[in-house]
Amino acid sequence: MREYDYIDEDIVRLIKKVEKRQEKFNSERKYIYDEFSLILQDDYTDMDEVQRYAKYPRLRRPSIIKVNGNTSFTLSMVKKKQDDLDVAYENVKSAIKKDYGKSVFYEEGDIEIENSNIKWFEFKGFGFDGIFYSIFFFFDTKASRVLGTFQCPFSEYDIWKPKFMEIMYSIQLVK
């Protein structure tokens, strides 16, 4: 057997794995909050209270925590302070670099939405559960600053990153 025959088998296995994962994304639901909306896959559910307290023991845990298997999506909405979005973005990014020194940062960017801007960055982190992939994103509404996160095992980031990006692009401010 030639060397590239093995490569073909690996490619076929990878394609089947991706197709199986894609089946999960056929249904989605639009969530509407006070000041914005977004589209999230239908199979995300609210994290139960026991898990919320275990995973986020601090008092200021995210107000919205959705899970889908081993991925999570969170939103925290806080009253806007005087600092602008860029300052808040850099403060959080610096805190992650300080607290998780081994983190590896990759892309960052801006997504323009009506009357606001979403700032985001992605990184690989190391936690109790192993290596994870995370995207943090920030945007302002009229009254609130929103911090969102997506997280999945690092071994699955190539599958989840496009879906996470789609969710960010689906964000719309409510008029």
Q: What is the pLDDT of residues 113-152, one digit of tens each?
A: 887 889 999 999 988 778 999 999 999 888 888 999 999 9
Q: Are 76 and 147 in contact (CB under 8 A)?
A: yes
- pLDDT tens for 36-63 read 888 887 778 888 877 777 777 666 677 7
- HSE at residue 56, side-chain half, CA atoms within 13 A, is 17
C-beta separation of 46 from 66 below 8 A: yes
Q: Token pair of 60, please?
A: 């200021």
